[in-house]
Amino acid sequence: MTSIGRLIPLFLALLLAVAGAGAATAAHIKAVLEAETLRPAAGSRITLALSMTPERDWHGYWLNPGDAGAPADIAWTLPRGVTVGPLRYPVPQRLIVQGLMNYVYERPYALLMTLNVPKGLAPGTPLRIAGKARWLACSPTICVPEQGPVAIDLTVGDGAVTAASRARFDTWRAKLPMPLGQVASFEAKAGKLRLAIPFPKGRPVTAPYFYPATDGVADYAAPQMISRRGDRLIVEIKAARNPQPVQAIEGLIAIGPDRGLTVTARPGPVPAAGVPIAGAGDEAGADGWRTFLLALGGALFGGVLLNAMPCVFPILSLKALSLARSGETDRHARVEALAYTGGIVLSCVALGLLLLGLRAGGAAAGWGFQLQDPRMVFVLLLLVTAISLNLAGLFELRAVGIGEAMTKGRGALPAFWTGVLAALVATPCSGPFMAGAVGAALLLPPAAALAVFAGLGLGLALPFLLVGFVPALRRLLPKPGAWMDRLRRILSVPMFLTALGLAWVLGQQAGVDRLVQGIGAALLLGLALWWVGARQAQGKRHSWIPVAPVLAAALALLLVTPSGGSPAAAAATGAEGAEPFSEARLAALQAQKKPVFLYFTADWCLTCKVNEKAAIERPAVREAFERAGVVVMVGDWTNGDPAIGRFLEAQGRSGVPLYLFYDRDGRQETLPQLLTPATLTALAA
């Protein structure tokens, strides 16, 4: 690291260290050397970790510390034949101190490395792994160079790993960046460094930021502009003041909390910027405001468009016509409009709060996340079925309040609950319009994100709000008449279509059995509501009682409906008929002398996706594998599954794609990274 800006604080830190020679010797960052197993097998590779625990308000540094700082290093003293690989750093965070950008770790972290045990060592052979570690510990006001001996005693054995040790190391592995696998391109001109990083356009990314590992190419403290253009992330950074010519730029692109991909970029063309993505460091600047305003505008526009969707338009139409039907005064119209708007906006903000809370807890939730739970789809199916039958005139149920609230109900309370209903049933229809706006909202600070969700609600309520506040618009509404009942029945058709769509979603998520249960529950509900309508026509009291046993039965079904997708749905992430990867299942198949084609993939791996579409998922390959009895297994490394990470390490690989074939005798063949159908069908010959 040769940056002058970095040497100045280091020099000051050394002066402070010399001046304070009598200071306490306790380290501000505690360093401990750990091994995943204390009994490594001869000829094996095991993982070591330098576990670093900073004191409060202190931090350590990434491989490239940024404008100031220094990375850790270890001078090893090892037994003959034993080697240790380079330190592997987790995804860092950013910290600006006095205008200097630092790439740091403020929470406990671990630097991982691979230890190679030589072959031929007898069981019981002691191995003392020792070294002298050096690192820089800094607070916002002072930096202290620290060092100390680190050592661990190992004994050659069977390589067994305890469950506690495996879990601890897997937690650290999950925070390591994953190799991208495709080469990026860069160009430097006009004082700007631009990179094009391969990244599938369908793969979500949260608060991206590029951490350059190559020193002297970028102005670390300058804001970054990151956008999407097709299958590329376009990164634009201010170049370093006196950039050095380089043939390659190494770095790390962060794609989410503690998630990142290592990148190698070589000189080449970089396309123009695409759709901007908010970065974690952009919110306070003009770019953050621009992103917020674009997201807010998109949410407002998307909310307005939602009113034309089949699940919202009937509710809006009947609610608006109710003003004309009941002859509301201007005051009553405004009250209803505000109450309706309040119901929608509060519902959207509540949904946003829940979504942000789930993401803060580590869940990979996005807009429409509630529809990922079959139980929620089940409830929506019954609700939309009830709405459809009500619009069709089968019943009038004040307990549900749909018919009365939309056609006859007056006052703030019915209007408020109608707004809540509109927001609820809008969820299944919102995807095509809201993906961009809500996706940007999830990258903004919580207050700004909630403002975007409120904007969505305001857009959804805007047409009725205008009808309520603009008398001229109410006068344009057609006069009440028998045609309104006919219109109401016509509007039941799109609601029935919405129910049909929800039934399809339920089947896709939870399988045919749950689909039959959902349709059966909807039919039972329809029969109960038909009975309710008959009792209402006879003027009987408590006409809604027939619904009670149906709701109880639906609740029982709801309790047994799985919260996640079906196994079949899960398997759909790989080739048709593929089994999810597990080492235990692989060992069992080998014991049965079954041939196995095992491949590892990730949603962000373009090479993986090309191979899957061009070779693995071809009908000819599938038929050849079926004839030969080849079992297909897929390991999805999209979110950095530690079990897959361990397996890749054992194969001497650090990333995907990886394609392996095991014949009936258990012999393993590593296939090339670019596949053809002929390559795969030849395996089944």
Average pLDDT over residues 287-309: 69
Give the CB-side neighbour count of residue 178, counting CA atoms within 13 A.
Answer: 28
Instruction: List CB contacts of 178: < 8 A, sequence separation 6 or more.
Output: 260, 261, 262, 602, 637, 640, 655, 656
Burial class (CB in 10 A: 0-12, 13-18, 19+), 149: exposed
Residues paired with 77 in a beta bridge: 130
Predicted local distance difference test score (pLDDT) of residue 131: 95
3-class DSSP string for 78-97: CCCCCEECCCECCCCEEEEE
Between residues 91 and 419, which one has the greater pLDDT? 91
Instruction: Give yes or no for residue 95 having a pLDDT over 50.
Output: yes
What is the edge-to-edge ordering of all strands in the sheet holding 631-636?
579-580, 631-636, 596-601, 658-662, 668-670
Predicted local distance difference test score (pLDDT) of residue 311: 63
Instruction: Give yes or no for residue 567 having a pLDDT over 70.
Output: no
Alpha carbon of residue 32 to chain centroid: 32
Task: Please write the tens of the pLDDT for every residue from 50-72.
Answer: 999 999 989 999 999 998 888 99
Task: Please write the tens of the pLDDT for every residue from 592-602.
Answer: 999 999 999 87
Task: Please write the tens of the pLDDT for every residue from 512-542.
Answer: 778 888 888 888 888 888 888 888 788 777 7
Instruction: List CB contacts of 229: < 8 A, sequence separation 6 or more.
Output: 196, 271, 272, 273, 274, 275
> Do the beta carbons of residue 39 and residue 154 sit within 8 Å?
yes
Nearest to 120 by CA among 181, 204, 43: 43
* Three-class secondary structure of residue 259 per DSSP: strand
CA dist 497 and 376 (Å) reads: 18
Percent of the chain at pLDDT > 70 equals 77
Between residues 242 and 248, which one has the greater pLDDT? 248
Predicted local distance difference test score (pLDDT) of residue 562: 55
Average pLDDT over residues 215-241: 90
Name the pairing type of β-strands 579-580 and 631-636: parallel
Give the CB-side neighbour count of residue 32, counting CA atoms within 13 A.
Answer: 8
Predicted local distance difference test score (pLDDT) of residue 237: 93
Rounded to 5 degrees, φ, ψ at 428 are -65, -20
Instruction: Give yes or no for residue 273 having a pLDDT over 80.
Output: yes
Percent of the chain at pLDDT > 90 equals 31
CA dist 160 and 59 (Å) reads: 34
- Banded model confidence at residue 560, pLDDT cuts 50, 70, 90: low
**pLDDT averaged over every residue in the chain:** 79
The neighbour count for residue 22, using CB atoms within 10 Å, is 6
Average pLDDT over residues 399-404: 40
> Do the beta carbons of residue 255 and residue 261 sit within 8 Å?
yes
- Region for 309 from its dihedrals, namely left if φ exceeds 0, alpha if ψ lies in -120 to 50, beta otherwise: beta
Q: 548-569: buried (b, 16+ CB within 10 Å) or exposed (e) per residue?
A: eebeeebeebbeebeeebbeee
**Tokens read off for 583:** 């080492």
Instruction: Give yes or no for residue 429 having a pLDDT over 60.
Output: no
Average pLDDT over residues 32-48: 95
CA dist 174 and 650 (Å) reads: 16
- Banded model confidence at residue 404, pLDDT cuts 50, 70, 90: very low
Residues paired with 600 in a beta bridge: 635, 658
Q: Alpha helices, DSSP H only, in 572-654? A: 583-591, 606-611, 619-628, 642-650
Instruction: Give yes or no for residue 83 having a pLDDT over 80.
Output: yes
Task: Please write the tens of the pLDDT for every residue from 431-479.
Answer: 444 545 555 555 566 777 788 888 888 888 888 888 878 888 777 766 6
- Length of the chain as a residue count: 685
Instruction: Give yes or no for residue 134 having a pLDDT over 80.
Output: yes
Instruction: Give yes or no for residue 26 having a pLDDT over 70.
Output: no
Task: Please write the tens of the pLDDT for every residue from 346-401.
Answer: 888 887 787 666 555 544 444 555 555 677 778 878 888 887 887 787 877 453 34
Between residues 578 and 539, which one has the greater pLDDT? 578
Instruction: Give yes or no for residue 294 having a pLDDT over 80.
Output: no
Rounded to 5 degrees, φ, ψ at 279 are -105, 160
Of 4-8, 420-424, 434-438, 679-683, which gets the smallest average pLDDT? 4-8
